[in-house]
Amino acid sequence: MVASTSKYKYIVCDPELCIGCQLCEYICSYTKTGEFNTYRSRIRTVRVDEVLITAVACRTCENAPCVIACTRDALTQDSETGIIHIDPQKCDGCAWCIEACDFGAISINHHTKLAEFCNQCEDVEEGPQCVKICPKDALEYTTPDQRSQRTRRKLIKSSLEFPSKTKDPR
Amino acid sequence: MHGYSGNILHIDLTNRSHWTEDKPEEWYKLYIGGVSMATRLCWENIEVGCDPYSQGNPICFANGIFAGTPVPVGGKYGLASKSPLTGMIGDSLSGSWFSIALKRAQWDGVVIHGGSENWIHIFIDDNRVEFLPADKLLGLGTFETEEEIREMFGDDQIRSATIGPAGEKMVRFANVTNDGRQAGRTGHGAVWASKKIKAVSVRGTYGITVADPETLLQMSFDITESSQGPHTEKYRIYGTSTNVLNMNKLGLLPTRNFQEGVFEFAELISGEYLDEHHKVKVIACAQCPIACEQMSMVKKGPFAGAMTGIEYECLQAVSSNCGIDDMTAAIQLVDIADKSGMDAMSMGVSISFAMECYERGVLKKEDFKCEAAPDGIELNFGNGEGAVILARMIRDREGIGAILAEGTRIASSMLDEERGTETWKWAMHIKGLENPGYDARSLKTFALGLAVGTRGGCHNRSAAYDPDIKGETNRFTIDETRGEVASRSEEYAAVYDTLPLCKFIRRCFTGKADRAGAWPAIANLINATTGWNFDYDDVDSIGVRAHTMKKAFNIREGWKKEDDDLPYRWKNEPMTIGPSAGHVVTDDELDYLKKIYYEAKGWTEEGLIPKKVLIDLGMDDVAEEIGV
């Protein structure tokens, strides 16, 4: 998989924790549209071979390929947050942005035929609602830097064998 | 109307046509969804007295009231037909993205009539219905079929309910699978095959609105949070398989075809052992924050590569119940059942039945000849490899598999007729449905619940093992309270099966699972979804009505008092070891229990329903037909 080069925050899913319940998609579609409809969610779960499960939302790439690919200059990237904004007047649903996205994080609204992006709930005070509802804390609102620090810590912890401490008390 | 579209989709396979039926809001208030609505649709559309494999037997889907909303564990649908195993109502539930897709396609229910001449794949695309040839899907396993359909359409939000190879071969306990979950019991897969349906797929693109989204969301957040706490710990950490050791300790773990209730190798087939050696990941049903499905894999040995979700009922049926102490064989057996689309519980009991036939000399080694074992199988209890071969023979209807694929009731009568034996004495079924994983000889309230159950040997529709195990009732004796306890227990379960909500959420509303703990919260959820004004009594009557509907269906299909019975073994052969040793449920005890149960229901001595009872439940048209 192509790695994100983002310095910006984005929503990431830990496939080991994700159980595929799709509650993130419900809350997302409700937040954005007032209806529950996973076709309108900007975060999407995916499951193959029964046990491979994760959720994907916009990774706020630097020099975002979707923005570059857009033939109608409908997409702009916020230089502060990295969030992709779409001008619905300009977008014609041609889907070049979808072709350009390495993560499959963009979707087309079935009814308006326009592209839709995760905007990290920037207009909601509590921040990303999907992260809030995720029952298994599989979703994290983070940056690549935080991710790598966490991975290092996890790695070193797992290489130390203290059986009594590695398992949660049951 | 919020929460419902008001539309039922009717599909006629014979004429390749479809139409919409509008149902009034009052109808939904009575039957809600899930098993209740599915049974009601079956009642309205069946040709009374038909053969379950005939065109007159409809396939009825009923969606859940909370499907597609964030209400935890509400993503379920009910499925009903006349069961080929029992000849009575076959009602199943499945946690499923299928139900949510159906909801978004704006269908509250689907009724499939008639039958097709060629194998068919029905595609419901919002309000369009397509009849597609299923030739390319034939022979594929359940999960493979779904993947193939998603590939075919290039849309991973298309959700399918399918049958597997066992269904295609009309194994009588074949089931219907969606997203690796099953509408598992009573043989729906065989009914689908009788109509030549391989798959039903749905794409739904409309949004779902509810009456009071803010309240519904807040409640959903709270229940979700509570569902990560101690109330569901058992399900989240080990899954239901943790019951193996508990049941073994109580002497209730079915062992060697229900001969005993204690298995000497229980440790090796326990949820704890599974967790340590085989667990790969936990996964959830649609819209479920609990995630009880323990995906387990065999990493080495002859069954390496087998992987599926393991839970208590299927596990005990194929392990202790078959005397098998090898977890890898157990995983392989459940994997075969899941991928080929058959009920692992009924399959396990059919195998244990064959094992006992072998040990008693009714079946010989050469009776099990097949391609994989040209000389036959020495099918003693405990022979895991033999059981795996036999499971595949059942799936393919190869050799003796063709008889065992009929389920234990028909298989035993076929053998007895052919060989003059008495195998019916160890055919462990009730009304034709194989028994669940609790030996009822020393669970006397539950024995009653099973005997009178509308779908036969089923632990899901009666929860009467609960008071027995908790000690609220003395499980070894009977008294005059048991009719009421068993009656209330099945009505309690029917509320969850009708909404439907998974019963694992039952403690997460207030910490208490009883009616007082859960019904007010459930009423609030219903009201926030629909805008209705349900209270405690309305919620309670959902269960009463659901159960009465199922019973009414059975009465019209010819149910008799004698059908409410227990297996010969439970009435005549006590266990010899463990805490449950020495106990049986005698015929006299059962007759008394049935009598006080019918009384508690307000039914007649013959178990028939008085007109007044039905009219009080708002079921006047049912009273007209079968009320006395």
Contacts of B235 (CB under 8 A, 6+ apart): B290, B292, B504
Give the separation between CA B168 and CA B135, rounded to whole angstroms. 12
Contact A52, B281 (CB under 8 A): no
The domain that holds B195 is classified in CATH as 3.60.9.10
A25 to chain B nearest CA, in Å? 9
Residue showing tokens 């599926």: B308
Q: Would residue B522 count as lying in a domain?
A: no
Q: Which of B375, B402, B430 is the last residue of a domain?
A: B430
Tokens of residue B376, six digits: 């036959």
Query: Over 50: is that where the pLDDT of B165 sits?
Result: yes
Q: Per residue in B184-195, pLDDT tens?
A: 999 999 999 999
Decide if A135 and B156 are in contact by the 8 Å CB cutoff: no
Q: Which amino acid is at A115?
A: A
Query: Over 80: is that where the pLDDT of A159 sits?
Result: no
Of B70, B156, B289, the CB nearest to A46: B156
Contact B33, B63 (CB under 8 A): yes
Q: Would residue B529 count as lying in a domain?
A: no
Residues belonging to chain A:
170
Work out whether strand A84-86 and strand B433-434 pair parallel, antiparallel, or are unpaired: unpaired
Looking at the structure, do residues B418 and B488 belong to the same domain, yes or no? no
For B476: left if phi > 0, alpha if psi spans -120 to 50, otherwise beta; the answer is alpha
Of B147, B281, B289, the CB nearest to A23: B289
Q: Is the dihedral of CA B19, B197, B552, B504 positive or negative?
A: negative
Looking at the structure, do residues B412 and B467 belong to the same domain, yes or no? no
The phi and psi torsions of B567 (rounded to 5 degrees) equal: -60, 150
3-class state of residue B356 by DSSP: helix
**Nearest residue of chain B to residue A40 (CA atoms):** B207
Tokens of residue A83, six digits: 């969030």
Please choose, from the candidates B77, B79, B66, the residue with its C-alpha nearest in 3D space to the C-alpha of residue B455: B79
Give the separation between CA A131 and CA A12, rounded to whole angstroms. 9
pLDDT band at B492 (very low <50, low <70, confident <90, very high): very high
Provide residues of A within 8 Å CB-CB of chain B: 16, 19-23, 26-27, 29-30, 33-40, 46, 48, 50-51, 53, 110-111, 133, 135-136, 170
Looking at the structure, do residues B198 and B281 belong to the same domain, yes or no? no
Q: What residue spans of B184-228 are helical by DSSP H?
A: 188-194, 213-226
pLDDT band at A4 (very low <50, low <70, confident <90, very high): low
**pLDDT of B219:** 95
The phi and psi torsions of B249 (rounded to 5 degrees) equal: -65, -35
Looking at the structure, do residues B19 and B140 belong to the same domain, yes or no? yes
Give the separation between CA B525 and CA B589, rounded to whole angstroms. 41
Q: Per residue in B567-583, pLDDT tens?
A: 999 999 999 999 999 99
A105 to chain B nearest CA, in Å? 14
Looking at the structure, do residues B443 and B413 belong to the same domain, yes or no? no
Q: Is the dihedral of CA B209, B215, B217, B219 positive or negative?
A: negative
Q: Per residue in A33-82, pLDDT tens?
A: 999 998 899 999 998 877 889 999 999 998 899 999 999 999 999 999 99
**pLDDT of B504:** 93
Mean pLDDT of B141-163: 92
Q: Residues of A with CB below 8 A from B156's CB? A: 46
**Nearest residue of chain A to residue B288 (CA atoms):** A21
The domain that holds B272 is classified in CATH as 1.10.569.10
Give the separation between CA B337 and CA B348, rounded to whole angstroms. 9
pTM of the model: 0.93
Mean pLDDT of B203-210: 92
For B618: left if phi > 0, alpha if psi spans -120 to 50, otherwise beta; the answer is left
Q: Would residue B543 count as lying in a domain?
A: yes
Looking at the structure, do residues B468 and B412 belong to the same domain, yes or no? no
Looking at the structure, do residues B196 and B275 belong to the same domain, yes or no? no
**pLDDT of A148:** 84
Domain count, chain B: 3
Q: Would residue B300 count as lying in a domain?
A: yes
Give the separation between CA B397 and CA B391, rounded to whole angstroms. 10
Query: Over 90: is that where the pLDDT of A158 sits?
Result: no
Q: Which fold has domain A10-161?
A: Alpha-Beta Plaits (3.30.70)
Please choose, from the candidates B510, B457, B489, B578, the residue with its C-alpha nearest in 3D space to the C-alpha of residue B85: B457
- Residue B110 pairs in a beta bridge with B9, B61
Tokens of residue B399, six digits: 């050799």
Decide if B104 and A39 are in contact by the 8 Å CB cutoff: yes
**pLDDT of A7:** 82
Would you list the domain boundaries of chain A?
10-161
Q: Would residue B168 count as lying in a domain?
A: yes
Contact A83, A120 (CB under 8 A): yes
Give the separation between CA A117 and CA A85, rounded to whole angstroms. 8
What rounded mean pLDDT belongs to chain B? 95
Looking at the structure, do residues B393 and B463 belong to the same domain, yes or no? no
Contact B207, A37 (CB under 8 A): yes
Decide if B97 and A35 are in contact by the 8 Å CB cutoff: no
Contact A33, A40 (CB under 8 A): yes
Decide if B68 and A27 are in contact by the 8 Å CB cutoff: no
**pLDDT of A149:** 86
Residue B69 burial (10 A CB sphere; 0-12, 13-18, 19+) = buried
| Mutation target among A44, A51, A136 for the B interface, most CBs of B within 10 A | A51
- Expressed as residue numbers, the domain containing B472 is 438-499+535-626
Q: Residues of B with CB below 8 A from A39's CB? A: 104, 157, 205
Contact A120, A141 (CB under 8 A): yes
pLDDT band at B155 (very low <50, low <70, confident <90, very high): confident
The phi and psi torsions of B108 (rounded to 5 degrees) equal: -80, -25
Decide if A35 and B147 are in contact by the 8 Å CB cutoff: no
Q: Would residue B583 count as lying in a domain?
A: yes
Of A36, A110, A111, the CB nearest to B70: A36
Q: Would residue B361 count as lying in a domain?
A: yes
| Mutation target among A28, A36, A40, A51 for the B interface, most CBs of B within 10 A | A36
Give the separation between CA B43 and CA B30, rounded to whole angstroms. 14
A15 to chain B nearest CA, in Å? 10
Q: Per residue in B336-351, pLDDT tens?
A: 999 999 999 999 999 9
Decide if A51 and B280 are in contact by the 8 Å CB cutoff: yes
Please choose, from the candidates B475, B485, B488, B490, the residue with its C-alpha nearest in 3D space to the C-alpha of residue B441: B475
- Residue B483 pairs in a beta bridge with none
ipTM confidence: 0.82
Contacts of B527 (CB under 8 A, 6+ apart): B211, B212, B533, B534
Query: Over 70: is that where the pLDDT of A1 sits?
Result: no
Contacts of B621 (CB under 8 A, 6+ apart): none
Q: Which of B409, B430, B451 is the last residue of a domain?
A: B430
A163 to chain B nearest CA, in Å? 13
3-class state of residue B384 by DSSP: helix
Decide if B209 and A133 are in contact by the 8 Å CB cutoff: no
Core vs surface per residue A98-110: b (16+ CB within 10 A) or e: bebbeeebbbbbe
Looking at the structure, do residues B546 and B422 belong to the same domain, yes or no? no
Q: Which of B377, B411, B430 is the last residue of a domain?
A: B430
Contacts of B223 (CB under 8 A, 6+ apart): B71, B72, B505, B508, B509, B521
3-class state of residue B342 by DSSP: strand
Looking at the structure, do residues B77 and B161 belong to the same domain, yes or no? yes
DSSP tag of A2:
P
Decide if B157 and A135 are in contact by the 8 Å CB cutoff: no
Of A20, A38, A170, the CB nearest to B157: A38
Looking at the structure, do residues B446 and B583 belong to the same domain, yes or no? yes
Contacts of B513 (CB under 8 A, 6+ apart): B506, B507
Query: Over 90: is that where the pLDDT of B543 sits?
Result: yes
Of A16, A19, A26, the CB nearest to B70: A26
Decide if B143 and A50 are in contact by the 8 Å CB cutoff: yes
Query: Over 70: is that where the pLDDT of B479 sits?
Result: yes
Decide if B307 and A46 are in contact by the 8 Å CB cutoff: no
* Residue pairs spanning A and B at CB distance below 8 A: 91
**Nearest residue of chain A to residue B228 (CA atoms):** A135
Looking at the structure, do residues B336 and B448 belong to the same domain, yes or no? no
